[in-house]
């Protein structure tokens, strides 16, 4: 997360703040923050949120990788086309992760560029829950409880996918075909076995670059 540390230092310096002041904001020692500034220690999601509030800048400012939230929304709605009866919320979150990271594996750029956080049940986009609530409030999706899961389904088949290229749609189609009949636990276990999840701590943002270290046959395909 060296790029993040450099950007935090750039913003800190521009605002005329000392390293000791930022350490106080984070609730860590100055020595610990110096390790952060040198890229020897990664910051957690909660620490980045504290800095975002203190600097009064969006978290995206700390990252070099551009992001496209609107494109992520189109990916979200495009995937729902495959699950007419609904898809478990957790499974949908993992399919989006596989789409972004496998696209990065092939092209060295993600499909949407949103940030993914390491959570107990696998990687989750930092805007996934907020977007889900927004789509539900606007009547574009339905959410209903089923057994121990929340099932998400689209309210209409007519959606706008103008930001998705044919190549990106093909990848989304392939991922859905591979995983549509698999249980949520299977996709959760699959993401837990991947290097991006294994190499990060809970609550940390997962660098896209970690997927490059993954075996080619273990980027988005389930074990068959």
39 vs 6, 16, 26, 46, 69, CA distance in Å?
8, 21, 16, 17, 27
CATH code of 10's domain: 1.10.260.40
pLDDT recorded at residue 167: 97
pLDDT recorded at residue 155: 93
Across the range 135-142, mean pLDDT stands at 95
Under the banding of pLDDT at 50, 70 and 90, the label for residue 183 is very high
Across the range 83-107, mean pLDDT stands at 95
pLDDT recorded at residue 158: 72
What is the rounded CA–CA span in Å between residue 36 and residue 88?
A: 37
179 and 91 both lie in a single domain = yes
137 and 187 both lie in a single domain = yes
What is the rounded CA–CA span in Å between residue 216 and residue 29?
A: 41
144 and 205 both lie in a single domain = yes
Name the domain boundary from 11, 44, 62.
62
pLDDT recorded at residue 60: 66
58 and 124 both lie in a single domain = no
SS3 205: strand
What is the rounded CA–CA span in Å between residue 154 and residue 184?
A: 19
pLDDT digits (tens, 9 = 90+) for 52-94: 888 887 676 787 667 899 999 999 999 999 998 899 999 999 9
pLDDT digits (tens, 9 = 90+) for 31-46: 999 998 888 888 887 8
pLDDT recorded at residue 97: 98
What is the rounded CA–CA span in Å between residue 196 and residue 100?
A: 12
Is the pLDDT reported for residue 178 higher than 90? Answer: yes
177 and 151 both lie in a single domain = yes
The position carrying tokens 């392939």 is 174
Under the banding of pLDDT at 50, 70 and 90, the label for residue 200 is confident
Bridge partner residues of 119 (DSSP): 122
Q: Yes or no: say if 125 and 116 are a contact pair by the CB < 8 Å rule.
A: yes
Radius of gyration (C-alpha) of the chain in whole angstroms: 19
Name the domain boundary from 29, 44, 62.
62
pLDDT recorded at residue 10: 85
In a domain, 130, yes or no: yes
Domain count, the chain: 2
33 and 90 both lie in a single domain = no
By residue range, what is the domain housing residue 213? 69-218
Task: Name the average pLDDT for the chain.
Answer: 90
Model pTM? Answer: 0.77
Terminal CA-CA length for the chain? 34
In a domain, 224, yes or no: no
More confident residue, 41 or 196: 196
Under the banding of pLDDT at 50, 70 and 90, the label for residue 201 is confident
More confident residue, 217 or 134: 134
Across the range 188-196, mean pLDDT stands at 95
Under the banding of pLDDT at 50, 70 and 90, the label for residue 47 is confident
Across the range 141-169, mean pLDDT stands at 91
What is the rounded CA–CA span in Å between residue 117 and residue 105?
A: 18
């Amino acid at each position: 997360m060296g790029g993040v540390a450099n950007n935090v230092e750039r913003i800190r310096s521009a605002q005329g703040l000392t390293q000791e002041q930022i350490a106080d904001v984070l609730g860590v020692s100055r020595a610990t923050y110096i390790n952060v500034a040198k890229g020897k220690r990664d910051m957690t999601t909660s620490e980045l949120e504290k800095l975002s509030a203190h600097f009064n800048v969006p978290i995206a400012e700390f990252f070099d990788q551009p992001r496209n939230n609107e494109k992520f929304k189109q990916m979200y709605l495009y995937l729902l086309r495959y699950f007419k009866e609904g898809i478990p919320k957790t499974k949908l979150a993992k399919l989006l992760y596989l789409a972004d990271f496998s696209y990065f594996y092939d092209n060295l750029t993600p499909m949407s560029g949103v940030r993914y956080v390491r959570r107990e049940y696998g990687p989750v986009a930092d805007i996934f829950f907020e977007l889900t609530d927004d789509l539900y409030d606007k009547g574009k999706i339905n959410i209903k409880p089923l057994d121990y899961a929340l099932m998400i389904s689209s309210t209409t088949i007519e959606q706008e996918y103008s930001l998705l290229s044919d190549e990106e749609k093909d990848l989304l189609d392939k991922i859905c075909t591979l995983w549509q009949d698999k249980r949520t636990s299977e996709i959760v276990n699959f993401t837990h076995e991947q290097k991006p999840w294994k190499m990060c701590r809970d609550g940390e943002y997962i660098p896209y670059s970690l997927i490059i270290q993954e075996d080619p046959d273990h980027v988005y395909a389930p074990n068959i």
